[in-house]
């Protein structure tokens, strides 16, 4: 645990030191759970967004994009159920005066049971070596089976109590499990209460005529209300999808863990409209497809797992999370939801407008069902960034800090370094930068010894360093150093573009899907 905390602290401080993420309004002591993306962060974020957009929109003939406004007619949120049901169960600790999400306290307790299971597995794997059979061990080891059953029973009881709005039982569960305040350890809790997460605002200049609005808590509703506009103008045939990236806002009670849970964040969502009755098939297909997208980035198969929901949101008939191993354990990264026809039907009822599709193949008119994929861009950023940050012991006894970002996502693809600041080397280096910058983000760096510059670029996540030396003057060649292996290669300047493209090209990465 201490190790995990240390690693997480390093992630947060590295993100600041290398110009990735800053606390919002830092000079005024910051704003809780609101962050700004700095010069490198904005590039990484843009590259993740593009990687998603290419995979979802550009590569799928039947998915198109949308950029709906953040402000929406307030009835939208009545129809979607957010006014009445977008609540978190909160609980206060009377001694520490800290507020928590009751369900998160319980989930964290179960997370500790999961950690115990992982510990048992690691111990047994070490003991049995090659002959270790993980599946059999998980099914037969009494301690592991006990932890698993306990965790499942707890989550099931919590799910049922939340569904029935039995908040007294949620409190009882916290007391029975003897869960203490994570900060003070105190078990002196208030009752559990519901708290709506939407931010309210006003539209209009005069107080009498101003209209109460909400900042959208999800981008999805912008897609639902435009469903028929897009279907008709794009002559889309079911099944088809509408994809959108954009800001969403939630007044999170427990806003901690850096950019994992923010009050202003960005979502990348896709609603896939299907014929009623086919939603389960599409749901399974999108689960598989989205996992493949994650795996294409090469961040380790073991770092992902599915979590199928027992407790379903008011709009869903099936739902799963893709969880990622963050520095603080496995947590939700993306949601895949089979949302039925709930949203479109609700908008029909509240607007009085039909939101139906005529299916020429079966000669029928119907309200389509929807399968949604929804990922937080900031959460994906944290997954990529935290997984990439590594301390590596080198053969010479020193260590290096290296940000092994997937090259396709790296903010700067190459840094060009003249070995010395004289003899015409800076001019050649600058010329290389001028040529390459039409295709890639490249940096020029002439300050400090070349070894220090390598380290700086390693920590910055730059996949290539290109060094111009005195031989370049006569052979038109440079040394290209690969960030991850630290291997160096002598290549012609004219070969640089193709070599870098091979490593950073979106196509080469997405082809792994
Ligand atoms: N339209 C469905 C929807 O919004 P969700 O599970 O509430 O579903 C989807 O959110 C994704 O948005 C999550 O998997 C997560 O990646 C991201 N997300 C949700 N709340 C967030 C927050 N407060 N901060 C950062 N990301 C968040």
Give yes or no: residues 432 and 317 share one domain: no
Average pLDDT rounded to a whole number, residues 192-204: 93
Ligand 1: residues with CB < 6 A are 218, 220, 250, 252, 261-262, 265, 267, 269, 332-335, 372, 374-376, 378-379
Give yes or no: residues 365 and 229 share one domain: yes
pLDDT at residue 2, rounded to an integer: 53
pLDDT tens, residue by residue, 319-365? 999 999 999 999 999 999 999 999 999 999 999 999 999 999 999 99
pLDDT tens, residue by residue, 460-469? 999 999 999 9
Give yes or no: residues 456 and 488 share one domain: yes
pLDDT tens, residue by residue, 368-412? 999 999 999 999 999 999 999 999 999 889 999 999 999 999 999
Asked whether residue 31 is domain-assigned, the answer is: yes
Give yes or no: residues 50 and 94 share one domain: no
399 vs 282: CA distance, rounded Å: 47
Give yes or no: residues 240 and 284 share one domain: yes
Task: Work out how many domains the chain is built from and give that number.
Answer: 3
- Any idea what the CATH number is for the domain that residue 36 is in? 3.30.930.10
Q: Which atom of ligand 1 is nearest to the CA of 380?
A: 16
Asked whether residue 107 is domain-assigned, the answer is: yes
Give yes or no: residues 372 and 231 share one domain: yes
Residues spanned by the domain of 188: 90-196
Give yes or no: residues 146 and 237 share one domain: no
Q: At which of 165, 196, 227 does a domain end?
A: 196
Give yes or no: residues 48 and 103 share one domain: no
Give yes or no: residues 475 and 429 share one domain: yes
pLDDT at residue 295, rounded to an integer: 97
Q: At which of 391, 421, 446 does a domain end?
A: 391
Binned at pLDDT 50, 70 and 90, residue 207 comes out as: confident
Q: Is the sign of the CA dihedral 418, 411, 296, 55 positive or negative?
A: negative
Residue nearest to atom 14 of ligand 1 (CA): 334
DSSP string, 100-116: EEHHHHHHHHHHHHHHH
Asked whether residue 204 is domain-assigned, the answer is: no
Asked whether residue 403 is domain-assigned, the answer is: no
Give yes or no: residues 374 and 464 share one domain: no
Between the CA of 203 and the centroid of ligand 1 the distance, in Å, is 26
- Any idea what the CATH number is for the domain that residue 451 is in? 3.40.50.800
Distances (CA, A) of 178 to 117, 143, 181, 189: 20, 20, 10, 11
Mutate to test the pocket of ligand 1, among 265, 293, 340 (most ligand atoms within 8 A of CB): 265
| Contact yes or no for 270/285 (Cβ under 8 A) | no
Asked whether residue 63 is domain-assigned, the answer is: yes
Between the CA of 147 and the centroid of ligand 1 the distance, in Å, is 28
Task: Verify cis geometry, omega within 30 degrees of 0, for the bond prior to 94.
Answer: no
- Beta strands at 329-340 and 442-444: parallel, antiparallel or unpaired: unpaired
Q: Is the sign of the CA dihedral 498, 504, 404, 465 positive or negative?
A: positive
Instruction: Name the percent of the chain in helix, strand, coil, to the closest 5.
Output: 45, 25, 30
Look at residue 3 and tell me whether its pLDDT is greater than 80. no
Look at residue 303 and tell me whether its pLDDT is greater than 90. yes
Give yes or no: residues 314 and 256 share one domain: yes
Asked whether residue 397 is domain-assigned, the answer is: no
Asked whether residue 404 is domain-assigned, the answer is: no
List the structure tokens of 485. Answer: 């292996």
Q: At which of 391, 420, 450 does a domain end?
A: 391
Asked whether residue 211 is domain-assigned, the answer is: no
101 vs 113: CA distance, rounded Å: 19
Binned at pLDDT 50, 70 and 90, residue 4 comes out as: confident
- Beta strands at 364-366 and 318-326: parallel, antiparallel or unpaired: unpaired
Contacts of 44 (CB under 8 A, 6+ apart): 20, 381, 384, 385, 405, 409, 410, 411, 461
Look at residue 257 and tell me whether its pLDDT is greater than 90. no
> What residues form the annotated binding site for substrate?
101, 218, 265-269, 372-376
Residue nearest to atom 9 of ligand 1 (CA): 374
Ramachandran area for residue 363 (φ above 0: left; ψ -120 to 50: alpha; else beta): left
Mutate to test the pocket of ligand 1, among 215, 244, 318, 379 (most ligand atoms within 8 A of CB): 379
Between the CA of 53 and the centroid of ligand 1 the distance, in Å, is 18
Give yes or no: residues 245 and 368 share one domain: yes
């Amino acid at each position: 645990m201490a190790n995990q905390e240390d690693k997480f602290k390093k992630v947060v401080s590295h993100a600041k030191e290398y110009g990735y993420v800053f606390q919002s309004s830092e000079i005024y002591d910051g704003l809780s759970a609101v962050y700004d993306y700095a010069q490198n962060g904005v590039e990484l974020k843009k590259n993740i967004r593009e990687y998603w957009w290419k995979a979802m929109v550009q590569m799928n003939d039947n998915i198109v994009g949308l950029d709906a406004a953040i402000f929406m007619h307030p009835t939208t949120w009545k129809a979607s159920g957010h006014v009445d049901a977008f609540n978190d169960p909160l609980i206060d600790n009377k001694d520490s005066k800290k507020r928590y999400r009751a369900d998160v306290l319980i989930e964290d307790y179960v997370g500790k049971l999961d950690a115990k299971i992982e510990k048992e597995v690691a111990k047994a794997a070490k003991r049995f070596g090659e002959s270790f059979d993980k599946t059999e061990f998980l099914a037969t080891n009494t301690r592991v089976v006990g932890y698993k059953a306990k965790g499942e029973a707890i989550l099931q009881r919590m799910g049922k109590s939340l569904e029935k709005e039995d908040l007294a039982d949620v409190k009882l569960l916290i007391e029975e499990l003897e869960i203490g305040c994570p900060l003070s350890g105190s078990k002196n809790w208030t009752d559990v209460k519901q708290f709506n997460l939407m931010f309210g605002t006003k539209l209009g200049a005069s107080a009498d005529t101003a209209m109460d609005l909400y900042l959208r808590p999800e981008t999805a509703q912008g897609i639902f209300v435009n469903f028929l506009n897009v279907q008709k103008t794009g002559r889309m045939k079911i099944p088809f999808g509408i994809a959108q990236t954009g800001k969403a806002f939630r007044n999170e009670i427990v806003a901690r863990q850096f950019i994992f849970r923010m009050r202003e964040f960005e979502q990348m969502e896709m609603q896939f409209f299907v014929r009623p009755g086919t939603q389960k098939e599409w749901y399974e297909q999108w689960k598989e497809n989205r996992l493949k997208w994650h795996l294409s980035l090469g961040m380790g198969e073991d770092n992902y797992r599915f979590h199928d929901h027992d407790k379903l949101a008011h709009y869903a008939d099936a739902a799963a999370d893709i969880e990622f191993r963050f520095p603080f354990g496995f947590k939700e990264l993306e949601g895949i939801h089979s949302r039925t026809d709930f949203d479109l039907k609700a908008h029909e009822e509240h607007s009085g407008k039909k939101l139906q599709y005529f299916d020429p193949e079966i000669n029928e008119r119907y309200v389509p069902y929807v399968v949604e994929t929804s990922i937080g861009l900031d959460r994906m950023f944290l997954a990529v960034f935290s997984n990439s940050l590594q301390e590596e012991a080198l053969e010479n006894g020193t260590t290096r800090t290296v940000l092994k970002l997937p090259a396709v996502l790296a903010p700067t693809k190459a840094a060009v370094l003249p070995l010395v600041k004289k003899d015409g080397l800076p001019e050649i280096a600058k010329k290389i930068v001028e040529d390459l910058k039409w295709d890639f983000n490249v940096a020029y760096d002439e300050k400090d010894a070349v070894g220090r510059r390598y380290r700086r670029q390693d920590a910055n996540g730059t996949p290539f360093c290109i060094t111009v030396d005195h031989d370049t003057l006569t052979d038109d060649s440079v040394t290209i150093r690969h960030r991850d292996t630290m291997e160096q290669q002598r290549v012609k300047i004219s070969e640089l573009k193709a070599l870098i493209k091979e490593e950073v090209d979106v196509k080469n990465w997405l082809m792994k899907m």
